Amino acid sequence: MIMKTFATSFFSHFGAKALPSETDILVVLPPDLEQVFGKPRLYLTFANEDPAQPRELSPNEDLLVYGSRTFDRMLALLEGRGATTHLQLPIRQPTELDLRLPFANAKATLVEDDYQQSVEPFYVFHFRATYIWAEKEEVFITITLDGAGAQHPHRSELLGRGKVFGAPDESEARKIDAALLRQQFERAQKIAQAQVAERADALEEIIKTRLRQILARLKRFYGRLMAEITSDNPARNEAARADLEADLQRKQADELERHRLRIQLAPVGYAVMLVPFIEHRLSLSCGQQTSRLTLRRDLHTGWVETFSCQPEIESITDLAFSSFKDRFRAQGRFAELCAENALLCREDALHSVLAVAGTKVEAPDAPEQVCRDAQRYIWRRVEAARWVIYLGQRRGSKALSPVLGRLLVMLDQEGNVIKRRKVGAVSRLLGRVFKR
Amino acid sequence: MTNDQLEWLPLSVPPQPKETQSEFFCPHCNKAAPVNADTCPHCGRPLILAAGLTEEALPEIALLERQLDIAPPPEDWFSGRGLDTPAMYDLRLQAERLYVTGGFERLICLDDINIDHYQYQLEAAQRALRDMGGRALLADEVGLGKTIEAGIVMKELIERGLAQTVLIIVPASLTWQWQEEMAAKFYEDFLVLEKLSQLSAPNSLPPKACRWIISYSRARSSAWAERLLAFEYDLLIVDEAHKLKNHRSKSYRFVDQIRKRYVLMLSATPVHNNLLELYNLITILRPGHLGTRRAFARDFIATPTALVKRRAYRRTIYSRPSVHAYLRKNRQARQEYRQKGDEAFRIVARTESLDEFLAVFLPKADAQPKAAIEEIRSLMPEGYDVVEFEGVEWRSWYRRRIDFVCRLRLRPKAKRPEPSRPDPRRRLRPQNPALVRALLREVMIRNRRSSVGVRFPPREAAIYHLTLSPPERKLYNDVTAYIREELRNVQQLPSGKRPAGGVLQLRLMTLQKQLASSPQAAVQGLEKLTAGQNDDRLNDYLALARSIEQGRKVKAVQTILEQYPHKTLIFTDYLASMRALNATLTASGFETTLFHGGLSAYERIEAVREFRNSAQVMISLRSGGEGHNLQFCRQMINFDLPWNPMIIEQRIGRIHRLGQKRKVRIFNLSVANTIEAYILELLANKIRMFELVIGELDLILGELAGQRSFESYLQEAWVGSQSEAELLQKIVELEKIITGARATYTQIRSTSDELSDILGGAES
């Protein structure tokens, strides 16, 4: 399917008429491509899902798969082109951020103090890592960085999927700083190198196991051959042993060389992606308590950026805040602060988070990692089911242990289900959860 | 024409190999263990070790430092000059993602090769690449497509950029077939090496240009070997690898010396006589995998060890009907061994030639080898010849002494109609078959028809015996007489005055073949011969040939097609015959399509499509249709008979191949008292080629004495005969040679089957 998408985009781009059917594509080539492909029309067919199934080709069909001649010719046409570009992501959301998010408690009020629209560059770099030993493996690495150098892996998924974005207008393009671009490239290259090193370590472990056996076998084999030299002529024996020793050395050296891991890391291309953002400064008040909250929303995807420590959760589109009265007594924390808290307080937050998620953690060995895992677990669920997150802080609840009571994180499948519950009901519910 | 008759050949069906289950006993505790277990469930010790024989801790090793090559970005990247449009960027990104190759878990070449995919072949290729590191012995049964498996591995390595230089070593008769298959099925062009000038200095050629096919005989000659060894090959493919069974042969030493990264050895019969032959092949692939030769013989070859041990202890001459002799009086050698011996019983040498034996063994046995040789020779009874030696060094466990035994196997010289082969069971059966099997599984892949579920449909073969019409007979006899006379004249000329390169001889032989094909083909040949000379006799023959409107064979084809009205593939070697046949059949209302070298690739595809869709008959030149699926047809006619039986096998292989579901019918036209009739007799009744699986014929022909080709024997017989009677006599001699080769092959096949039974678990 990916190949078919590529073929359609490719031939359309080069001025051919691509007429896709359910399985194939008929391509009517323009004169310049006719010369390249040697015929006026291509009947492109694609690989079977099951590689073991034989493919019967009719005389005119051109199989378009990795390594096929047609594919190679297409690649040749792209040689030296399309490596770098500037992209402008269009605004797809309404410019006014709709903040009427589902509230759990009508007593809380949310006021938008201010907002500001901006365009921010993201730097997407592509590398190809090739690992060669007795085998060969290639990995396509994409590193996406923001202006500050933080990674945003989700962003690159928008690219190279057959969806073409426009180029930025000149004024925006001029703002792209070449020095910063180079700086970010170097940073991305270092990150890619680290990824390559990680993979190389894993591969070398595999290689080492295999090589160890080979070298042991050779050593044993030649050792025995030498032991079997038993003629009466010591000079001849010595010469034969020397020959075998030399042969062994050569073979060992060959094997070592054959199992040396060679890695090539080559930059393939980059795109500077200009992304429209809107930043809202909000006030959330409940009774006497007021908290300030800043929300950034990507105007192309609609993603809300809330947790600076967790760029992976950009795809959250809805947030809700509980306004239970006592949540805000001790300067209640909101989303991003909460996440920070989770990193800072570690165990407490983690225990509560994981307990709610139904997993008990005794003592995390690497709190930060567990924290990330826990959050990712929750956020993933949030992302998948559009759950509503309730954040708040509670002290002295009898239903909760003191540790857990410090930070309350509760999830539910549907916001409206929780919405109908009273504080007590929620506490009882949580109490049941934690007691279990 | 009254003698014309269709004779159906009685074809025997080879028995399907039986499924066998062998027991596996732990070598340490001797208790039964699961065949595939890594450790013994009773004693917990490893059942399989890398070296196979002893348990040793694997040493810690340090890999060579990894090389990281970081390519810099192009200079114009950051200046903004090289920027492209987002659309082009998107395309490029898509292409780059598609261009990434993963590990060997997925074969990436499959859609770029022109073959039918059979799961067992793909699995074999994957195992060879992934589990065996690209060094494997592909030992599928005949006809299962070892060449295809090797081709897949090759293509995969090439597409991944792991292999560029490839050397293929094959028997001489298969060089062109390999070249054709590599081109038609894998789109890789190979050069068949015939002249030394084709090889230049190692670094002067681009790697892609180093894709060569060479015959064993050529490769092992010192001039070629020296040039070929100067190169380093990414991939070495050795077809019919059993030719390397003798580790002292030139071929073996040559292949062993080649510098290669990946090696594929192909043989349907990796063992002919002795498990040591298999040991030799494996040792090229993975030195030490089966231990040393001596250790392998001691630890795995059961019977000889046991026998010799027992006989050595009894100190008697062990007699067998055709084998007996026992050397036991070398006291000096015993003395020497007693003094220095500290090893237990072990076989010192086991060889099949006297010289080899003496070179290996006698220096240890006697300080004066010459005297010892004489002693051994004097022991040989008159009229006997040496078949095999076994030298044994032995220390009795209770007598505390070293003994020295040399056992000779002799056979009567007078009773030697054909090479006698020792009982294969005795030499094949390993001591611990399961351990051997487990070791072999790491380097050898053997698919059997029974295990992969491949069944070829049965064949029917018939000979249509024909009698020529009087004018045709006259033409045949007269021209044949003329050819013989001319050949005689040529041979009588002083060597300096003979036509260069045997051109005339070749022309005359071609004319003979054309004559047997059809009058129209004969006209073509005669016209070539008469060009530029005014020979009345030739002109008369030409006139006679032209006067014959329809050859007898054409009429016979028509009869067959009327009687068996199925899609039929007709093979002829001559364009003139093809045209004549086509004209007659078309006039008779048969829809035909032609397939020959003059067609473009597109036209060939169209011809096959036409044959599939509408035409009843396809008339093809040579082994046409290679690379195209013709299994929808199940009937073929050999209009004329090539002198090289391999071409006939290729023809049969066009329709009788994997994928054919119906019974295949093969018709052969045999005109009485012609060279073709003799050939057909040899092929049908002596080689019995119509009952052979595709691939077997080459193995039989490979057994012909002196490694000569069938065609060369035939040519020699024909050229060297002054008369038909003399030719017949020579054909009878050839029959004997062929019968011997067939018998030898039958023996080898049964040996291989037995090996398969014993090593059942090494199969895929």
CA A52 to chain centre: 31
Task: Give the per-residue pLDDT at A409.
Answer: 35
| A chain contacts of residue B363, beta-carbon cutoff 8 Å | 231-233
Contact between chains at B84 and A161 (C-beta distance less than 8 A): no
B interface test, pick of A8, A78, A142 with most B CB neighbours within 10 Å: A78
Task: Give the per-residue pLDDT at B98.
Answer: 84
Among all residues of chain A, which has the CA nearest to that of B82? A84
Residue at A375 is within a domain: yes
Question: Across A46-50, A114-118, B279-283, B495-499, which has the greatest mean pLDDT?
Answer: B279-283
SS (H, E, C) B136-161: EEECCCCCCCHHHHHHHHHHHHHHCC
Q: How would you classify residue A18: left for phi > 0, otherwise alpha for psi between -120 and 50, otherwise beta?
A: beta
Using the Cβ of B93 and the Cβ atoms of chain A, whether some distance falls under 8 Å is answered with yes
Convert the pLDDT of each residue in B136-167 to its tens digit: 999 888 778 899 999 999 999 998 888 999 99
Contact between chains at A262 and B83 (C-beta distance less than 8 A): no
Task: Give the per-residue pLDDT at A96.
Answer: 42
Q: What percent of chain B has pLDDT over 90?
A: 20
Nearest to A85 among B79, B84, B367 (CB): B84
| A chain contacts of residue B332, beta-carbon cutoff 8 Å | none
Q: Is B383 a residue whose pLDDT tops 50?
A: no
Q: Is B396 a residue whose pLDDT tops 50?
A: no
Contact between chains at A54 and B117 (C-beta distance less than 8 A): yes
**Given pLDDT bands bounded at 50, 70 and 90, which one contains residue A302?**
low
- Comparing A386-395, B178-187, B429-438, the range with the smallest average pLDDT is A386-395
Contact between chains at A185 and B78 (C-beta distance less than 8 A): yes
> Do the beta carbons of residue B115 and residue B422 sit within 8 Å?
no
Contact between chains at A265 and B70 (C-beta distance less than 8 A): yes
In Å, how far is B178's CA from the nearest CA of chain A? 22
Q: Is B378 a residue whose pLDDT tops 70?
A: no
Query: In this structure, which amino acid lies at residue B318?
Result: Y
| A chain contacts of residue B294, beta-carbon cutoff 8 Å | 228
| B chain contacts of residue A134, beta-carbon cutoff 8 Å | 133-134, 261
Contact between chains at A164 and B86 (C-beta distance less than 8 A): yes
Task: Give the per-residue pLDDT at B59.
Answer: 66
Task: Give the per-residue pLDDT at A342.
Answer: 36
Residue at A99 is within a domain: no
- Cα B761 to Cα A330, B28, B437, B452, B534: the distances in Å are 73, 20, 6, 14, 71
Angle, CA of B294, B169 and B152, to the nearest 5°: 100
Residue at A297 is within a domain: no
**Given pLDDT bands bounded at 50, 70 and 90, which one contains residue A56?**
low
Using the Cβ of B7 and the Cβ atoms of chain A, whether some distance falls under 8 Å is answered with no
The pair of three-digit structure tokens given for residue A54, joined into one six-digit string: 């034989």
In Å, how far is A273's CA from the nearest CA of chain B? 10
User: Which residues are bridge partners to A293 per DSSP?
Assistant: A282
Q: Is A111 a residue whose pLDDT tops 60?
A: yes
Q: Is A130 a residue whose pLDDT tops 50?
A: yes
B interface test, pick of A39, A46, A74, A85 with most B CB neighbours within 10 Å: A85
Q: How far apart are CA B661 and CA B657, in angstroms?
A: 9
Query: In this structure, which amino acid lies at residue A128?
Result: R
Contact between chains at B122 and A51 (C-beta distance less than 8 A): yes
Q: Is A330 a residue whose pLDDT tops 60?
A: no
Q: Which of residues 341-370 of B touch A (CB under 8 A)?
A: 363-364, 367
In Å, how far is A94's CA from the nearest CA of chain B? 25
Contact between chains at A261 and B110 (C-beta distance less than 8 A): no
Question: Across A312-326, B634-648, B680-694, B714-728, which has the greatest mean pLDDT?
Answer: B634-648
User: Which residues are bridge partners to B15 per DSSP?
Assistant: none
Q: Is A435 a residue whose pLDDT tops 60?
A: no
Nearest to B83 among A84, A139, A265 (CB): A84
| B chain contacts of residue A55, beta-carbon cutoff 8 Å | 111, 117
**B699 or B239, higher pLDDT:** B239
| A chain contacts of residue B233, beta-carbon cutoff 8 Å | none
Among all residues of chain B, which has the CA nearest to that of A231? B364
**Mean pLDDT over the full length of chain B:** 75
Q: What is the mean pLDDT of residues B96-113?
A: 78
**B309 or A82, higher pLDDT:** A82
**Given pLDDT bands bounded at 50, 70 and 90, which one contains residue B31?**
low
CA proximity to A10, closest of B127, B297, B89, B458: B89
Q: What is the mean pLDDT of residues B42-70?
A: 64
Contact between chains at A66 and B99 (C-beta distance less than 8 A): yes
Nearest to B94 among A59, A160, A259 (CB): A160
Q: What percent of chain A has pLDDT over 70?
A: 57
- Cα A6 to Cα A162, B98, B703: the distances in Å are 7, 9, 55
- How many C-beta neighbours within 10 Å does residue B95 have? 20
Nearest to A221 among B291, B609, B629 (CB): B291
**B488 or B331, higher pLDDT:** B488
Q: Is A346 a residue whose pLDDT tops 50?
A: no
Q: What is the mean pLDDT of residues B389-403?
A: 40
Task: Give the per-residue pLDDT at B439.
Answer: 82
Convert the pLDDT of each residue in B318-363 to its tens digit: 222 222 222 333 444 444 544 444 343 334 444 455 556 556 555 5
Convert the pLDDT of each residue in B182-211 to its tens digit: 988 888 999 999 888 888 777 777 777 789
Contact between chains at B77 and A210 (C-beta distance less than 8 A): no
Contact between chains at A160 and B90 (C-beta distance less than 8 A): yes
Q: What is the mean pLDDT of residues B3-10?
A: 73
Nearest to A167 among B65, B85, B159 (CB): B85
Q: Is B562 a residue whose pLDDT tops 70?
A: yes
- Comparing A336-345, B57-66, B249-258, B426-435, the range with the smallest average pLDDT is A336-345
Q: How far apart are CA B483 and CA B529, in angstroms?
A: 11
SS3 at position A212: helix
Q: Is A306 a residue whose pLDDT tops 80?
A: no
Task: Give the per-residue pLDDT at A261.
Answer: 93
In Å, how far is A175's CA from the nearest CA of chain B? 12
User: Which residues are bridge partners to A277 per DSSP?
Assistant: A118, A298
Task: Give the per-residue pLDDT at B81.
Answer: 76
Task: Give the per-residue pLDDT at B394.
Answer: 41
Q: How far apart are CA A316 and CA B3, in angstroms?
A: 92
| DSSP notation for B431-498 | SSHHHHHHHHHTTEEB--HHHHT--PPPEEEEEEEE---HHHHHHHHHHHHHHHHHHHHHHHS-GGGS
Query: In this structure, which amino acid lies at residue B614?
Result: S
CA B143 to chain centre: 11
Q: What is the mean pLDDT of residues A349-364?
A: 34
Among all residues of chain A, which has the CA nearest to that of B52? A217
SS3 at position A186: helix
Number of inter-chain CB pairs under 8 A, A vs B: 266
- Cα A345 to Cα A132, A339, A348, A404: the distances in Å are 45, 10, 6, 11
Task: Give the per-residue pLDDT at B43.
Answer: 62
Residue at A241 is within a domain: no
Q: How far apart are CA B226 and CA A141, in angstroms?
A: 46
Task: Give the per-residue pLDDT at A293.
Answer: 62
**Given pLDDT bands bounded at 50, 70 and 90, which one contains residue A376?**
very low
Task: Give the per-residue pLDDT at A350.
Answer: 33
Contact between chains at A164 and B87 (C-beta distance less than 8 A): yes
Q: What is the mean pLDDT of residues B468-481?
A: 90
Domain stops at, among A78, A97, A127: A78
CA A190 to chain centre: 17
Residue at A25 is within a domain: yes
Q: What is the mean pLDDT of residues B453-459?
A: 79
| B chain contacts of residue A229, beta-carbon cutoff 8 Å | none
Q: Is A41 a residue whose pLDDT tops 80?
A: yes
Task: Give the per-residue pLDDT at B496.
Answer: 67
In Å, how far is B651's CA from the nearest CA of chain A? 22
Contact between chains at A74 and B95 (C-beta distance less than 8 A): yes
Using the Cβ of B453 and the Cβ atoms of chain A, whether some distance falls under 8 Å is answered with no
Q: How would you classify residue B761: left for phi > 0, otherwise alpha for psi between -120 and 50, otherwise beta?
A: alpha
- What is chain B's alpha carbon radius of gyration, rounded to the nearest angstrom? 31
Q: What is the mean pLDDT of residues A136-161?
A: 84
Task: Give the per-residue pLDDT at B637.
Answer: 94
CA proximity to A393, closest of A342, A337, A333: A333
**A354 or A200, higher pLDDT:** A200
**A97 or A284, higher pLDDT:** A284
Q: What is the mean pLDDT of residues B203-232?
A: 86
- Comparing A411-425, B413-427, B639-653, the range with the smallest average pLDDT is A411-425
| B chain contacts of residue A208, beta-carbon cutoff 8 Å | 61, 63
Query: DSSP assignment, residue B67?
Result: E
Residue at A389 is within a domain: yes
The interface predicted TM-score (ipTM) is 0.70
Convert the pLDDT of each residue in A259-298 to its tens digit: 899 999 999 999 999 988 877 776 666 556 565 666 677 7
Domain stops at, among A78, A106, A123: A78
Q: Is A166 a residue whose pLDDT tops 60?
A: yes
Q: Is A69 a residue whose pLDDT tops 60?
A: yes
> Do the beta carbons of residue A294 and residue A279 sit within 8 Å?
yes
Q: Which of residues 695-724 of B touch A (CB under 8 A)?
A: none
- What are the start-end ranges of the E strands in A299-383? 304-305
Nearest to B111 among A63, A165, A220 (CB): A63
Q: How many domains is chain A built from?
A: 2
Task: Give the per-residue pLDDT at B629.
Answer: 67
**Given pLDDT bands bounded at 50, 70 and 90, which one contains residue B746?**
confident
Task: Give the per-residue pLDDT at A265.
Answer: 95
> Do the beta carbons of residue B428 and residue B302 sit within 8 Å?
no
Q: Which long-range contacts (CB under 8 A, 24 or more apart) does B381-386 make?
A: B381/B325, B381/B410, B383/B412, B383/B413, B383/B414, B384/B325, B384/B410, B384/B411, B384/B412, B384/B413, B385/B410, B385/B411, B385/B412, B385/B413, B385/B416, B386/B353, B386/B354, B386/B410
- Cα B679 to Cα B642, B644, B665, B698: the distances in Å are 9, 10, 20, 16
N-to-C CA span, chain B: 54
- Comparing A209-223, B3-17, B476-490, B741-755, the range with the smallest average pLDDT is B3-17
Its pTM stands at 0.62
**Given pLDDT bands bounded at 50, 70 and 90, which one contains residue A186?**
very high
Residue at A340 is within a domain: yes
Domain stops at, among A78, A95, A111: A78
| A chain contacts of residue B103, beta-carbon cutoff 8 Å | 135, 137
SS3 at position B271: coil
**Given pLDDT bands bounded at 50, 70 and 90, which one contains residue B13?**
low
Task: Give the per-residue pLDDT at A53.
Answer: 56
Among all residues of chain A, which has the CA nearest to that of B117? A54
Task: Give the per-residue pLDDT at A90.
Answer: 85
Residue at A104 is within a domain: no
Whole domain around residue A393: which residue ranges? 306-433
Q: Is B287 a residue whose pLDDT tops 50?
A: yes
Q: Which of residues 108-147 of B touch A (CB under 8 A)?
A: 108-112, 115-119, 122, 129-130, 133-134
**Mean pLDDT over the full length of chain A:** 66
Nearest to A221 among B80, B84, B292 (CB): B292
Q: What is the mean pLDDT of residues A218-226?
A: 87
Using the Cβ of B159 and the Cβ atoms of chain A, whether some distance falls under 8 Å is answered with yes
In Å, how far is A172's CA from the nearest CA of chain B? 14
Q: Is A429 a residue whose pLDDT tops 50?
A: no
Contact between chains at B133 and A66 (C-beta distance less than 8 A): no
Contact between chains at B112 and A87 (C-beta distance less than 8 A): no
**Given pLDDT bands bounded at 50, 70 and 90, which one contains residue B687?**
confident
| B chain contacts of residue A77, beta-carbon cutoff 8 Å | none
Q: Is A110 a residue whose pLDDT tops 80?
A: no
